[in-house]
Amino acid sequence: MKQKSKKRRRSKSSQLKKTGMAPGQFLFTGEQKVENTSLQLMTYDKSEIEELSIDTIQEALTKIGNTNKMSWLNVIGLHETDIIKSIVEHFDLHKLSGEDILSVGQRPKLDEYEHYIHIVAKMFRIEDGNIEDEQITILFAEGLLITFQEKEGDVFNTVRERLIEDKGQIRQRHTDYLAYALLDSIVDHYFIAIEHFGNVIEELEVELLENPSDKILPNLHEVRREASYIRRSVFPMRETVNRFEKLEVPYMHKETKLFIRDLYDHTVQVIETVTVLKDAVSGLLDLYMSSVSNRMNNVMKVLTIVSTIFIPLTFIAGVYGMNFTNMPELEYKYGYLITMIAMAILTLLMIFYFKRKKWL
């Protein structure tokens, strides 16, 4: 998970890059993750759908301008700020909106601008056993939806499939429903990420109960930090989805609201599950501390048993190792035998005592 925490640190320093800039200036605050910005355009209506990979932004904008169908423009890669700028200018987006697209350490939120809606969400995916997070910006207005992401690969494939294969009602509906479908897909993937995370916790738990060792402590600490990070990313989604449901704009259709309500329920469920995970992590820490105490107890018991049995015996042996001239016991024929038997009895008494104390 090393790679992970590096990325997170970046998102803090991204904020630093921007310090003191005039608001609304175009500065990408993340790291370049793809070579070239690529553009994917889908235009569709009830009857047909077209999917295009487009090279230049001008071409895309022209295409969008020439159609009456729904358009979904997906922009992958944010480091070529010129492209973003063209989009911002072409659609007359607000400067803060443009700035937010490029600033990748954002909190999930929904902003309502004069003629469009700006949604920021955080996407979690499992990649090579790690939880990868990436910021997604969704802008939508009547007939047009634009998404911005940092790198290739996203959680939207099932949405694309439903569009292409005309499954469900997605082609019958407008961009508000598409925005809902995208957010729904993001939230659905939270469950996968959380399950992955839950598995990591369960493995740690098994390891803790079966083979508790010092090496588990840094892992526990790491998991705790991850849990805290995921929780913080998921929390603002509730408010975001809630504002989505409350939107009163002409391109927001009443039929969609029921679906957003459902999405809201899912988001709440995600948050509850994450909270439960967090509790599970602190449970693990308590378990760890308890097991450390237990092991210490066992170590101490061994020490105490061995010491308590042998120290008195050694003393007795020491006594008869003294060199006094006048020690009558030493001359007795059975002196040695009696001493050894006495020691054996003493040992048995000790063992009995420890048995009764349940230390053995």
Which residues in the 25-64 window bind its own copies by CB under 8 A?
Answer: 25
Range in contact with its own copies (rule: CB under 8 A) among 15-23, 26-34, 58-66, 71-79:
15-23
Q: What share of the chain is helix, strand, coil (3-state, %, to 5)?
A: 60, 15, 25
Write out the two tokens for 353: 């005592």
Query: Which residues touch 221 (CB under 8 Å, ≥6 apart)?
Result: none
Write out the two tokens for 180: 């809902």
Total chain residues near its own copies (CB under 8 A): 113
Site for its own copies in 217-236 (CB under 8 A): 217-218, 221, 224-225, 228-229, 232
Quick check: 79 binds its own copies (CB under 8 A)? no
54 contacts 41 by C-beta, under 8 angstroms: yes
Which of residues 90, 162, 243, 257 is near its own copies by CB under 8 A? 162
Which of residues 118, 122, 173, 189 is near its own copies by CB under 8 A? 189
Write out the two tokens for 320: 């008869």
Cβ proximity to its own copies: between 91 and 229 the closer is: 229
Tell me the C-alpha distance between 42 and 24, whole Å.
29
Site for its own copies in 275-314 (CB under 8 A): 276, 279-280, 283, 285-304, 306-308, 310-314
Quick check: 129 binds its own copies (CB under 8 A)? no
Which of residues 27, 52, 258, 348 is near its own copies by CB under 8 A? 258
Tell me the C-alpha distance between 163 and 172, whole Å.
10
Which of residues 27, 58, 213, 349 is near its own copies by CB under 8 A? 213
Quick check: 333 binds its own copies (CB under 8 A)? yes
Cβ proximity to its own copies: between 54 and 343 the closer is: 343
Write out the two tokens for 333: 């024929």
Residue burial 122-138, b: 16+ Cβ < 10 Å; e: rest? bbbbeeeeebbbbbbbb
**Shortest reach from residue 76's CB to its own copies, in Å:** 19
219 contacts 284 by C-beta, under 8 angstroms: no
